[in-house]
Amino acid sequence: MIVNFLTEYVFRRLISRGSLVVTTSNNRRLNFGDGTGKPVSIRFTDWRAELGFILDPDLKLGENFVNQQMVMEQGTIYDFLALVLNGQRFVSSPWPVQLLNRWRYATRRFLQKNGVTTSRKNVEHHYDLDDRLYQLFLDEDRQYSCAYFESEEQSLDDAQLAKKRHIAAKLCLKAGQRVLDIGCGWGGMALYLSKVAEAGQVLGVTLSKEQLQVARKRTQDAGLTNKVHFELQDYRTLDAKFERIVSVGMFEHVGIDFYDVFFKKTASLLTDDGVMLLHTIGNSDVPDFTNPWIVKYIFPGGHLPSLSDVTASVERSKLIITDVEILRLHYAKTLRHWRERFMARRDEAVALYDEKFCRIWEFYLSASETAFEYEDIVVFQLQIAKRQENVPLTRDYIAAAEAELRKMEALVKSS
């Protein structure tokens, strides 16, 4: 059968190490790898699914797993993805896949028409899910973005606190300054900047009704309603001035055709002495398309920029990039915590939704973790200013600011 021949050809090229058994759709058993490591076994239940994986793995692998047309017989989908992606770095894709990838790259802009109405719908698709779902796997502060691991042994909660501290330090925030948080999530960053970093007025904007409700309640519970405000508002509709702007995990939803809009708008919102910290997932390789399965099922309208995608728009906005930091593997560690927490409470997620939904999320968390671990996906932290003298001359200030913030954290915790 030609499909089985193609399956064997593809996996022979992909797997040189490890141990993989593939049972084809006509029950042919194929062994790949050198027999080392954790054994992984998969079975295709349908020849169309098997062919789909060969011709369009970026989309069909996830669909096959979710629809149970590719069944894990030994190991987990994470184990399979880790085995495949670890080997894929050294192998070029078959020519039909290369042609499909070129077409996706050429048409990527058409999938990212993220106007105000579309952006709101895209956010609702993912962030307005049942709030109890996110409680299953996020840290106590509900930080749904890359943590900052200062050591291998650091807990997720401590690493997320370190992320907020690291970002606050890079903002060069002075007491009483006005701060805008674009894509504020459940409010953790805005509340930290108010309580710990002693910001003045803090405004957080989101397009998620569920996140807005939680953020406002947290603000009320913290007694900060006179200092921290959250609004259901698109950043493009704002008309105010802020000394500091922070955006964590929102830029991935902007869309490549709107990068100029984003930076020109933030430039208009920043005061002349202003500083912005942009924290975003990105691609450390050349510009590319975003994984089609993720776009279709998880983040519609999403795009992971290369640094070159971003810098040209910053330059056109007349802003200045004053610092760039690449967080490597930090998100892989974050996602491992999320995946393990989610799987430990998977039955609760099934009760909230259903089995198919949980397979989608298992694949999403596993695919994301392995992408950060084995592919060219990282996190960029860009410090951006109106004027080059708005930030200190050397980076020594970051560690000094973090030390002061740790002291403030202790005071806030004890009060």
Residue 128 CB-density burial (10 A; 0-12 exposed, 13-18 middle, 19+ buried): middle
Q: How large is the average pLDDT for residues 187-198?
A: 97
DSSP letters spanning 96-149: HHHHHHHHHHHTGGGG----HHHHHHHHHHHHTS-HHHHHTTS-TT---S----
52 contacts: CB under 8 Å, gap ≥ 6: 59, 60, 63, 64
Q: Cα separation of 178 and 380, whole Å?
A: 24
Residue 30 has pLDDT above 70, yes or no: yes
Residue 397 has pLDDT above 60, yes or no: yes
Q: What average pLDDT does the chain have?
A: 93
Higher-scoring residue by pLDDT: 27, 128: 27
Q: How large is the average pLDDT for residues 268-285?
A: 96
pLDDT level of residue 90 (50, 70, 90 thresholds)? low
Residue 88 has pLDDT above 70, yes or no: no
Instruction: Determine the pLDDT at residue 127.
Output: 85
Q: Cα separation of 375 and 373, whole Å?
A: 6
pLDDT level of residue 318 (50, 70, 90 thresholds)? very high
Where in the chain do CATH 3.40.50.150 domains reside? 116-414
Instruction: Determine the pLDDT at residue 100.
Output: 77
Look up residue 122 and give its amino acid: N
Q: Cα separation of 174 and 171, whole Å?
A: 9
Query: Is domain 116-414 given the CATH code 3.40.50.150 in the classification?
Result: yes
Instruction: Determine the pLDDT at residue 114.
Output: 65
Q: Cα separation of 323 and 195, whole Å?
A: 26
Determine contact, residues 80/57, Cβ cutoff 8 Å.
no
Q: Cα separation of 337 and 100, whole Å?
A: 33
Instruction: Determine the pLDDT at residue 95.
Output: 60
Q: Cα separation of 2 and 51, whole Å?
A: 9
157-184: pLDDT as tens digits: 999 999 999 999 999 999 999 999 999 9
Of the ranges 44-53, 99-108, 311-320, which one carries the lowest mean pLDDT score?
99-108
Q: How large is the average pLDDT for residues 8-27?
A: 90
**Phi, psi dihedrals of residue 323, rounded to the nearest 5°:** -165, 140
Query: Is domain 2-106 given the CATH code 3.40.50 in the classification?
Result: no
The residue among 14, 22, 233, 27 whose CA lies nearest residue 120 is 233
Where in the chain do CATH 3.30.1050 domains reside? 2-106
Instruction: Determine the pLDDT at residue 111.
Output: 66
CA 239 to chain centre: 28
Give the pTM.
0.94
Specify the residue for token string 């949980």.
Answer: 358
Residue 42 has pLDDT above 90, yes or no: yes
Other beta carbons less than 10 A from residue 372's beta carbon: 24
Q: What percent of the chain has pLDDT over 90?
A: 80
Q: How large is the average pLDDT for residues 250-262?
A: 93
Q: Which residues pair with residue 33 across a beta bridge?
A: 19
pLDDT level of residue 309 (50, 70, 90 thresholds)? very high
Tokens of 212: 């807005």
DSSP letters spanning 273-336: EEEEEEEEEEESSS--PPPHHHHHHT-TT----BHHHHHHHHHHTT-EEEEEEEE-SHHHHHHH
pLDDT level of residue 121 (50, 70, 90 thresholds)? confident
218-255: pLDDT as tens digits: 999 999 999 999 999 999 999 999 999 999 999 999 98
Determine contact, residues 178/241, Cβ cutoff 8 Å.
yes
